[in-house]
């Protein structure tokens, strides 16, 4: 017969004392071990000054702990009540936290702005009616990306991004890649590393690279996701009328600083022979034509971010990913079939924040890394075919490499 014993309603302190008394049995099975630092995404970069660390912590609280209510300005129509509810632990979000956008967001403007576009606010305070997608409107569904290392990506110079782009595929590798060029919204000022063309600026955040910088993304998220106005975006999502700011500029700056100084995910097993072979194959079959291993930051007033090499596995460019991944939705100059190469750092940790499963690609449709790869089409078709032609052992090594990122 199986003899098990349970310890009802005891705190971990009590368990610890109990364990100390029975050291010989070993406590690993009873006490959860502290997570390894490399497995956790939501800490700050090293070497922040104490003032910077304090700002990081204020931003952390605003991002993760500030849950909006009717009394603090929530809605009246909204998608969620805090940033952290969709970006748990700053990791990739579960499909339950999907955002829906509708209309079109291209140069011609969104024809559905007067009917609630561009974002669906599918929840509402009592007495208000949540939005529905108007019949016939094109729409897209997006799962939340991980939020780590974004401060480094924000600091890649336009010159470096343009150098990776190859609009007419001059090198003949089947991969082109273009930036998302858009005019700047009025409250943004250009980075010193921006190289505008005809008053169009390279945008880089979001799945179609439709946001210029982390301020742009954060202001939009408060407004469109939570129904919170600010001096930057004073328009209320429900009435369409400008109202008093519901979140202060200083809180927004703290959240932006928090996002800028979140640490980067690190490779957890880079010296393993299979991992090394997987990385070699990843490069050999052309995955790194888009998922670029190494980028560098330009000048930043924050020393911890200044002139640093980092390894995100993205080129921050839009690529034609083929019919299978065409969502029928445009944003800025991004076409319906174009997506910004997602960073692959932290990929192996995404299950931690996605309920123990993978939900990859823009809408979480890929339930494994392999299925995400084989769903690549368009510019990535050649590289996908090469992946499929590998031996099972070689494919396994590529997966081992990706899982430890
Ligand atoms: C309802 C869920 C939800 C909420 C709430 C939410 N986000 Fe997001 N977030 C998303 C989704 C989905 C995306 C991808 C959007 C896109 O591609 O345009 C995203 C993208 C981002 C990005 C871009 C990351 C990248 O890799 O380009 C940042 C930064 C971000 N969110 C910050 C925030 C902040 C700050 C808040 C709170 C003010 C917030 N989010 C609230 C779902 C959410
Ligand atoms: C032409 C550029 C390009 C090439 C080449 C390419 N990818 Fe991608 N990759 C992308 C884009 C863009 C996406 C996002 C597509 C989407 O969300 O629908 C993506 C998504 C992924 C994802 C899912 C990431 C996530 O966060 O959901 C994985 C994993 C991945 N690629 C691995 C690979 C591997 C392995 C190779 C080589 C066999 C490869 N890619 C080749 C552009 C490329």
Contact of 299 with 306, CB cutoff 8 Å = yes
What pLDDT does 125 receive? 96
Ligand 2 centroid, distance to 392 Cα (angstroms): 20
Q: d(Cα 83, Cα 403) in Å, to the nearest integer?
A: 26
pLDDT at 209: 98
Ligand 2 pocket mutation, candidates 145, 286, 291, 340, criterion most atoms within 8 A of CB: 291
pLDDT at 5 over 70: no
pLDDT tens profile 329-380: 999 999 999 999 999 999 999 888 888 899 999 999 999 999 999 999 999 9
Buried b / exposed e over 363-376, threshold 16 CB at 10 Å, is: bbbbeebbebbebb
Give the span between the Cα atoms of 253 and 304, in whole angstroms.
Answer: 18
Q: What is the model's pLDDT at position 33?
A: 52
375 Cα: distance to centroid of ligand 2 (angstroms): 9
128 CA → ligand 1 middle, Å: 24
In the prediction, which pLDDT does 104 show?
80
What pLDDT, in 10s, does the model give residues 237-283?
999 999 999 999 999 999 999 999 999 999 999 999 999 999 999 99
Is 223 near ligand 1, meaning CB less than 6 Å away? no
| Pocket test residue of 88, 99, 210 for ligand 1, highest count of atoms within 8 A of CB | 99
Task: Tell me the mean pLDDT in the region 179-192.
Answer: 95
Please give the average per-residue pLDDT across 226-238, as a whole number: 97
Averaged pLDDT of the chain: 90
What average pLDDT does range 96-101 have in this prediction? 93
Ligand nearest to the CA of 318: 2
Query: What's the pLDDT score for residue 36?
Result: 73
Q: What distance in angstroms lies between residue 364's CA and the mean position of ligand 2's atoms?
A: 13
In Å, the largest CA–CA distance within the chain is 78
pLDDT at residue 354, rounded to an integer: 82
> For ligand 1, is residue 86 a contact (CB within 6 Å)?
yes
Alpha-carbon span 278 to 256, nearest angstrom:
35
How far, in Å, is the centroid of ligand 1 from the Cα of 187?
19
Nearest atom in ligand 2 to the alpha carbon of residue 338 is 12
The percentage of residues in the chain with a pLDDT greater than 70, rounded to a whole number, is 91
Ligand 2 neighbour 394 (Cβ under 6 A)? no
Higher per-residue pLDDT: 388 or 114:
388
Ligand 2 centroid from CA 113, angstroms? 32
Determine the residue of 83, 237, 359 to mutate for testing ligand 1's pocket, defined as the one with the most ligand atoms within 8 A of the Cβ atom.
Answer: 83
Rg of the chain over Cα atoms, rounded to whole angstroms, equals: 23
More confident position, 140 or 41: 140
Atom number, ligand 1, closest to the C-alpha of residue 255: 35
pLDDT value for 189: 95
Query: What's the pLDDT score for residue 9?
Result: 38
* Closest atom, ligand 2, to C-alpha of 92: 26
Answer yes or no: is pLDDT of 29 > 50. Answer: no
Q: Minimal CA–CA distance to 84: which of 50, 59, 118?
A: 59
């Amino acid at each position: 017969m199986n003899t098990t014993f349970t310890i009802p309603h005891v705190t971990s302190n009590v368990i610890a004392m109990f364990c100390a008394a029975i050291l010989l049995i070993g406590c690993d099975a009873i006490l959860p071990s502290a997570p390894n630092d490399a497995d956790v995404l939501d800490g700050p970069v090293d070497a922040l000054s104490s003032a910077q660390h304090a700002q990081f912590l204020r931003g952390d609280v605003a991002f993760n702990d500030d849950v909006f209510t009717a009394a603090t300005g929530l809605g009246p129509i909204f998608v969620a009540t805090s940033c952290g509810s969709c970006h748990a632990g700053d990791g990739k979000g579960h499909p339950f936290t999907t955002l829906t956008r509708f209309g079109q967001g291209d140069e011609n403007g969104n024809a559905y702005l007067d009917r609630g576009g561009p974002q669906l606010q599918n929840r509402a305070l009592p007495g208000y009616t949540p939005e529905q997608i108007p019949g016939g409107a094109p729409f897209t569904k997006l799962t939340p990306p991980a939020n780590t290392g974004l401060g480094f990506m924000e600091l890649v110079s336009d010159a470096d991004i343009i150098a990776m782009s190859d609009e007419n595929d001059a090198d003949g590798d089947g991969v082109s890649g273009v930036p998302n060029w858009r005019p700047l919204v009025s409250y943004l000022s250009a980075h010193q590393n921006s190289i505008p063309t005809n008053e169009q600026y390279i945008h880089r955040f979001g799945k179609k690279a439709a946001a210029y910088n982390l301020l742009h993304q954060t202001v939009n998220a408060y407004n469109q996701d939570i129904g919170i106005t600010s001096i930057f975006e004073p328009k209320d999502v429900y009435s369409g009328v400008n109202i008093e700011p519901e979140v202060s500029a200083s809180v927004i700056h703290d959240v932006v600083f928090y996002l800028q100084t979140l640490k980067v995910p690190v490779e957890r097993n880079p010296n393993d022979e299979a991992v090394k072979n997987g990385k070699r194959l990843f490069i050999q079959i052309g995955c790194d034509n888009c998922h670029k291993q190494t980028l560098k930051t330009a000048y930043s007033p924050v020393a911890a971010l200044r002139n640093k090499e980092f390894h995100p596995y993205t080129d921050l460019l839009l690529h034609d990913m083929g019919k299978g991944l065409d969502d029928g939705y445009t944003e800025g100059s991004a076409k319906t079939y174009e997506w910004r190469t997602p960073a692959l750092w932290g990929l192996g940790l995404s299950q931690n924040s996605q309920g123990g499963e993978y939900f990859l690609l823009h809408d979480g449709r890929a339930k494994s890394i392999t299925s995400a790869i084989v769903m690549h089409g368009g510019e990535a078709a050649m590289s996908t075919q090469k992946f499929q032609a590998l031996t099972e052992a070689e494919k396994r090594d590529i997966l081992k490499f990706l899982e430890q990122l």
